[in-house]
Amino acid sequence: MINRSIFLVGPMGAGKSTIGKLLAAQLRLPFADSDKVLEEKAGADIPWIFDVEGEAGFRRRESEILQALCEGPVQVIATGGGIVLREENRRLLRKHGQVVYLQASIDQLLERTSKNSNRPLLQVANPRARIIELVEERDPLYREVADLVCETDHCTPKQAAVRVAERLMSASPAD
């Protein structure tokens, strides 16, 4: 029985939104994507927010959305890749739910994000170098908050969702 929200964390392209929808369906829970909620509340897309308010403005909005989601019903929540950058967010994640770190290789992250222009942090000359930099910075923070880690490279999103659900439902999800 799942009685706390499930937060999916990890880098851009790890599969948080895709796996999150499948996981929510499997667990019969509502699903929320914090980036989509943020865009709906702001009435603007993330690249526009980055252009107008910068990353600091975006991170402030992201924290507000996370707080609101934590106060909502038990659900599966896909978070933005940088949600762990703020200590206040890491505290909220740990306090209000179970945290699943979805991992993927640099090659997979690059492949999965290469055709998406809605990722302001990857609009650079060398996206591979940027992904490496982001993963190196954020991996320790993802691990700090994670109740379990799931590798998403060598499985379909459905297989990853099943694996996560099984581990969440087991007595010891850290196994």
Binding residues for ATP: 13-18, 119
Tokens of 7: 């937060």
Dist CA 153 CA 13 (whole Å): 11
Q: Binding site for Mg(2+), residues? A: 17
Q: What is the rounded distance in angstroms from the CA atom of residue 123 to the CA atom of residue 162?
A: 33
Annotated binding site for substrate: 35, 59, 81, 138
CA–CA dist 15, 89 (Å, integer): 20
Residue whose pair of structure tokens reads 């934590």 in the numeric block: 70
Residue positions forming the annotated binding site: 13-18, 35, 59, 81, 119, 138
Distance CA 34, CA 77 (A): 7
With CA atoms as reference, report the closest residue to 107 among 145, 142, 163, 152.
152
